[in-house]
Each structure stands twice: as structure tokens, then as C-alpha cells.
Amino acid sequence: MTRAPAARIQRVQPPATLAAGEKARQLARQGHDVIDLGQSSPHHVTPRHIIDAGVAALNAGHTNISSSRGLPELRHAMAAKLAAHNARAIDPDGDILVTPGSKMGLYEAINAYVQAGDEVLVLEPTWVSFAQQVEMAEGVPVAVPLSEEEEYHITYERLNEYVTPRTKLIVINNPNNPTGRVYTEEELAAVARLAREHDLLVLCDETYEYFLYDSNRHVTIANLEGMAERTLTSYTFTKAYSMSGWRLGCIVARSDLLDPLLKIQEQTASFVSPFVQMAGVAALQGPQDHLPAWRDECDDLRVRCAGRLSRVPGVHCPLPQGATFLFPRYSTDLPSTAMAELLVEREGVVVTPGIGFGASGEGHFRIALMRSPADRVVEGVERIARVLETLA
């Protein structure tokens, strides 16, 4: 007997990034020479001192039930990091919820505050799961398309066009995945003004906070006037510490904002494995020398690869200000899913189609600069350029 899933689940589509990653693994198993530039997870192995801390925690018996809020050791280490890196003072005993990956934390935040029919503003192009998570909460994702010609600049006027009495939440990703925009304090102040005037919550994903280039500066929106009481901020260990397989993240907000998220976690994931959390403590408190090395590698790749693609007729590939991606636009009429398939078929290069980041992403594809070693990224971009040159 066939059972139909709930209608809200039928509306949810698989993340484009996961589909790209599965395609890469499938082709590699078949013996093809595949260059994976699809998923955002770094190719680097987790730094040794973090692995050692996780193993030591396992051997010390950190294998049993744990606090749903998170180990005090990790919450206090995170509070110290926020004070030093983000100029943000929080209470580690109440203002942090440790989650099994940042994606789960974002899911909890959206489901804690979005009810059936509530509208959520999502700035496009946007990370693949924001709109889908709103759908799963039976909310209505409202795309706010930002203009590539205006360098995806945020203005109060643009946001205000999409606010209705049903608007409940604004989701922002800074630095942005996939465009690489790093929003200025002026732009974030526009978001803050809108949130205050319409009494909206803000969910800010700061996954790529350590990956900034040139003179760009990361600003935490929760630090702006009147925003601490209405902002939930997501952090992850995935990119800066190459811990995607460990599944470790956290949501930071005032304790009264976090209480509904804690209820969801208590009834679903329960808690994050304690040995994983102890590895997170080592990540925050241990050596950080890998970070500038990884950032410099991405910096070099963004310049070299964007330059190569920009020499292809009909291709526009701006330099990202932050994050770990390129998001080139091409001039042919080929849909981005078909373009991604063509790149795999002709040259064995996996990218993520732009449509996965919302309708505003159509006509683009995303290249992940950390997914493969640097020489393979350069080779992959050269293969992409060869295909695009045949279409010019």
C-alpha cells in the first residue's frame, strides 16, 4: 500500500548541493576522472589536535547522554570566541544552544517561530535550505531578489517592498552563499531598521565569517542597536575547522529566544555527542594557524579562477568579497541544471546549478573553491572554461 507523505513534505525539494555531491561520488565510483566543485565542505582533513581531542574524549568516557543545551566547556569556549572575534558579550549559561550541525540549528530556529501562513523574507540568491525549511514549517518563503548589477546590495526600500502584515522573520546569510557578498554595516543597519519598525525576528547565518578578502570586514548584526533581543545567529565548525562530518554548530541568542529551540531539540536530536563537543572545545581553544593558510588559498583561487572565467566571452564572474565560492553568470539560454549536466558529461566537473539558490540564481552556477585541492580546482575551472568557450 502506498502512503502519501504530508503535503508540506511533498513541497520540499532535495538540496541542489547534496545532489551535486552525490553525482560526484557516483561518477568517481564508476572510475571517471571527476573534479568535485559542487558541495561546500572543505577537502581538508580536520586538524590533528581537534581529532586527538575527540579521541581523548572517547577514551575518557564521553560517550553517554549529555545536556540538551550543550556541554558547559563548549558554551564557555564559544562565549570567549564571540567576545574576542565578534565583539559580542553573551551569557554562556543561557545564550548558546549547541546543535548537531548548523543546519539543524537553523531548522529549529525557523520551526520555533514560523507558523502556518507566516511569511519569511529570504534574500536571493540564497543558501539552498532556507526556503525549504520555511516550507517544512508550513510558512511562506518570500524571495527578495537582489540585483547582480547592483552587486547584490541590500537597501531598506528593497526589503520594505516585500513586507506584509504576515511577515514574521528575515533570513540573512553573511558572508553570502553563493554570491560571496560581505554586507556592510550600512546594509545591515537597513535590515535592522526594517526589523525594528515591523517587529520582526532576524535569523543570521555567519558560517563563512572567517573567509574575508581585501578590506572587507565582517559585522555581526546582533551587535547593532536594538537587535540583540530579536536576532538568532548561527555558527558552525564545518568550514573554519573542516568538521562537516562531526556535525557541530550552535545558535546564539538571548535565552528567552532560545527556549523554544531547546524544546524542539529536547524532543528530536536530544543532544550533541559529548566527545564531538570536546573536539569543538579544542577547535576554539587550540592553534588557529590553519585558518590564514586556508583563507589565503581561497583568496588566490578566487582571483585566478575568476580571472580565467571572465576571459570567456559572455561570462561574467565577479570577485567574491568573502565565503569560498565563485558564482559566474553565463549568457546562453541553457538552464543552469542543464549547464551543470553538460559540464559533468563533457569534462567531468561537478558544480551546483544556480537555480538551487532561488530563481535569482538562474543563469549562474556555483563553484566551491575548497571542495577539492587547489590544483584540481584550477584544472576544473579550466575544463569549465573550455566548455563555455564552445557555447560562446
d(CA 328, CA 204): 25
Please list, residue by residue across 203-228, b when 16 or more beta carbons sit within 10 angstroms of its beta carbon and e when fewer do. bbbbbbbbbbbeebebbbbbbbeebb
| pLDDT at site 21 | 64
* Grid coordinates of 141: 518563503
Mean pLDDT by 10 residues, the chain (392 residues): 76 66 74 88 96 98 95 98 97 98 97 97 95 95 94 96 98 97 98 98 98 97 97 97 97 98 97 98 98 97 98 96 98 94 93 94 97 97 97 84
Query: How many other C-beta atoms are found inside a 10 Å radius of the C-beta of residue 149?
Result: 8
Q: Are 275 and 58 in contact (CB under 8 A)?
A: yes
d(CA 353, CA 20): 9
| pLDDT at site 356 | 93
* Grid coordinates of 56: 581523548
d(CA 295, CA 47): 15
Domains defined for the chain, CATH in brackets: 7-46+289-391 (3.90.1150.10), 48-285 (3.40.640.10)
| pLDDT at site 125 | 96
Q: Helix axis angle, 102-113 relative to 255-267, nearest 10°? A: 110
d(CA 95, CA 84): 16
